[in-house]
């Protein structure tokens, strides 16, 4: 059994001693109150993570000034009125013997609503790479005001009882904007050379030290490498790291990237290996003699233990893993690493949900996350006999939650394996972790006593004869077959059949549909050596490049030589060609030896009539309701179980 001796060793940073080397880094939640105070939802969310036993929890970003907020619900510390709420966060951690740091933050130009209101500030009036609007260039008076604001926020952190404070100097926010030539073109003492551009950060650290005293730890989260063309690199920033330490930094949180970095690398998608960025922490350690935190899609305690053992870093930050499974450290310590639900880096609930304005933080594979205040502990007041029909992600989640709450659950799946479309999709490049999650979830429901009936189709007759007390319909969807001449030819097959391995990719392939399934089957076919053309009728790709996986998928498809034809329809499929139309002009794609249909799916629901006739209560979830992502399927599955 791996004891993870390095990961679970203590470390002292000034006056703060940590019980282990695991850090839960700041992650935005949108759970705060509209006035920036701490809400009950924030308390419940933090409490659940504290129960997992990290050595140090860092709060989500806390605003130091009204003109530096990223969102209007952002937690804040620019006034003493925020101290009581912040103290509640401290109490939640300290009640569980966990140390907690407050991360203090100013968005600068990276705030849409501040830009829209004309309140955003920055080192220079250069437009945001994300929002395209310029901030107001800061005067030296502004600079002094913000420096003092960081110091005052740090003082409030100490007064609230925090064990440390972290200055946010990463990811394209205000401090990074000063460090980068891409956003700082000042000609005064805060611009020009790297040393001058770093002056703002150095003076903030000095002000924070002055306000908190000598024995209070200060961490600096830093994008050690901007990961963007024309940005600074680790080599550029290494010479000024000692200046940051001299000014007050007791620890460097070695992050990377900005909001403008391609591929959303700051929240790296599944394409990046766990711990891929540990080398940057090593670069920092070679420049300064203070503890360094490594960060970068860490999911496995064993890998983190190895990073510390070889002295690449002193501590390791697990971010999204704390959303997927808050108890992963406990399981590792108890020798139950196989029971850990590993983050699949889908970013659907934690990054994209916030980025696309869909709501507060969630996790696609852990329905408790962000819903701690409504999550039922169980058991149910009245256990019932529950049928879950369909073992895709929604059905599996529904079965798991219903069994957890004490219901007698039977799960029906007409295929030979659980997982539905997610298991098939896990065959696409880089998506193996999705299949591993399905395996984990299947093991969980088996341990909870769920009866799993694969190769079994739940019928109207079975429902009428057995009469379960509750039914959750997770029957998914069926592939849409477009009405195109030649669609029934022998060289035409469905994308799911190709991904499942039932159909081999051809040499010259045309994919009908440029949504995620179409793009992923094209990626899959190209990886097998196929020449691929994707035909999409929309004017813009349905796969958004602003999402991390979407960006990586577009890049791979492009680099593999695939052709993506937008605003194009298929008129006819022939034995060795496909006739298409774009902007009123027809042309022929040839030679074509395989046409793969990826036109989407439509809900599959053929049991509701019987359920209503038999007066059996039921829920419809996931793709059976409306085809969407894993996020929606698991959410609806969990809530159906909670509502029984």
Nearest to 551 by CA among 263, 333, 315, 327: 263
For residue 533, the 8-state DSSP code is E
173 part of the active site:
yes
Which position among 173, 434, 551, 618 bears the catalytic label? 173
β-pairing verdict for 508-512 and 492-494: unpaired
Looking at the DSSP assignment, which residues form a beta bridge with residue 529?
none
Tokens linked to 172: 């394209």
Tokens linked to 276: 């891929």
Sign of CA dihedral 505, 506, 508, 513: negative
Task: Tell me if 135 sits within 8 A of 115, measured CB to CB.
Answer: yes
Looking at the DSSP assignment, which residues form a beta bridge with residue 390?
none
Give the side-chain half-sphere CA count within 13 A for 631.
20
Q: Which residues, including other chains, have CB under 8 Å from residue 357's CB and lie 6 or more apart?
A: none
Nearest to 116 by CA among 183, 60, 62, 71: 71
Burial class of residue 146, CB neighbours in 10 A (0-12, 13-18, 19+): buried
Q: Round to the nearest angstrom and report the end-to-end CA distance of the chain.
A: 40
Q: Which residues, including other chains, have CB under 8 Å from residue 384's CB and lie 6 or more apart?
A: 407, 408, 469, 470, 644
Task: Tell me if 195 sits within 8 A of 130, measured CB to CB.
Answer: no
Nearest to 55 by CA among 318, 363, 276: 318
Q: How far apart are CA 473 and CA 495, in angstroms?
A: 24
Q: Within a 10 A sphere around the Cβ of 566, how many other Cβ atoms?
A: 15
Tokens linked to 435: 């299949």
β-pairing verdict for 218-223 and 164-169: parallel
Residue numbers annotated as active site: 173
């Amino acid at each position: 059994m791996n004891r993870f001796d390095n990961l679970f060793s203590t470390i002292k940073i000034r006056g703060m001693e940590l019980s282990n080397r695991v850090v839960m880094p700041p992650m935005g939640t949108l759970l705060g109150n509209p006035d920036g105070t701490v809400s009950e939802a924030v308390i419940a969310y933090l409490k659940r993570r504290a129960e997992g036993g990290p050595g140090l929890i860092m709060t989500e970003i806390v605003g130091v000034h009204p003109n530096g907020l990223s969102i209007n619900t952002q937690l804040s510390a620019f006034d003493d009125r925020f101290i009581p709420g912040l103290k509640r966060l401290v109490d939640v951690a300290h009640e569980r013997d966990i140390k907690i740091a407050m991360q203090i933050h100013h968005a600068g130009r990276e705030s849409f609503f501040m830009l829209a209101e004309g309140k955003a500030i920055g080192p220079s009036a250069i437009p945001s790479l994300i929002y395209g609007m310029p901030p107001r260039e800061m005067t030296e008076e502004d600079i002094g005001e913000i420096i003092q604001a960081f110091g005052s926020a740090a003082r409030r952190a100490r007064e609230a009882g925090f064990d440390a404070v972290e200055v946010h100097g990463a990811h394209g926010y205000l401090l990074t904007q000063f460090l980068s030539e891409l956003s700082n073109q000042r000609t005064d003492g805060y611009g020009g050379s790297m040393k001058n551009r770093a002056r703002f950060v150095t003076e903030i650290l000095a002000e924070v030290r002055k306000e908190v005293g000598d024995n209070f730890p200060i961490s600096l989260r830093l994008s050690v490498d901007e990961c963007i063309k024309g940005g600074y690199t680790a080599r550029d920033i290494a010479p000024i790291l000692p200046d940051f330490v001299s000014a007050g930094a007791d620890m460097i949180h070695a992050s990377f990237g900005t909001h403008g970095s391609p591929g959303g690398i700051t929240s790296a998608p599944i394409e990046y290996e766990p711990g891929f960025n540990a080398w940057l922490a090593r670069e920092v350690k070679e420049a300064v003699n203070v503890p360094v935190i490594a960060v970068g899609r860490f999911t496995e305690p064993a890998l983190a233990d190895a990073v510390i053992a070889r002295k690449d870093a002193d501590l390791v930050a697990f971010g999204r893993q704390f959303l997927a499974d808050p108890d992963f450290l406990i399981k590792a310590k108890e020798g139950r690493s196989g029971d850990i639900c590993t983050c699949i880096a889908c970013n659907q609930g934690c990054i994209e949900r916030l980025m696309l304005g869909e709501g507060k933080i969630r996790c696609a594979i852990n329905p408790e996350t962000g819903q701690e205040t409504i999550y039922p502990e169980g058991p149910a007041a009245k256990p019932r006999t529950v049928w879950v029909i369909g073992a895709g992600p929604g059905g599996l989640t529904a079965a798991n939650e219903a069994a957890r709450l004490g219901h007698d659950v039977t799960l029906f799946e007409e295929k030979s394996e659980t997982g539905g479309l997610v298991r098939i999709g896990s065959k696409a490049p880089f998506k193996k972790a999705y299949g591993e999650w399905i395996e984990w979830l299947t093991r969980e429901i088996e341990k909870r006593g769920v009866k799993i009936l694969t190769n079994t189709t739940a019928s109207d007759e079975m429902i009428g004869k057995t009469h379960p007390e509750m039914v959750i319909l997770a029957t998914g969807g069926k592939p849409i077959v477009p009405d195109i001449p030649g669609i029934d030819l022998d060289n035409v097959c469905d994308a799911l059949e190709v991904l499942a391995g039932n159909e081999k990719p051809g040499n010259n392939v045309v994919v009908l549909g440029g949504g995620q399934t179409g793009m992923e089957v094209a990626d899959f076919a190209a990886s097998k050596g196929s020449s691929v053309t994707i035909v999409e009728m929309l004017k813009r790709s349905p796969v958004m490049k602003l999402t991390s996986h979407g960006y990586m998928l577009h890049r791979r498809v492009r680099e593999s030589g695939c052709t993506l034809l937008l605003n194009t329809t298929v008129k006819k499929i022939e034995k060795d060609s496909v006739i298409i139309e774009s902007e009123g002009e027809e042309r022929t794609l040839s030679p074509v030896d395989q046409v793969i249909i990826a036109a989407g799916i439509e809900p599959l629901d053929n049991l509701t009539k019987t359920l209503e006739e038999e007066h059996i209560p039921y829920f419809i979830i996931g793709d059976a309701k409306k085809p969407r992502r894993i996020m929606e399927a698991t959410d609806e599955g969990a809530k159906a179980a909670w509502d029984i």
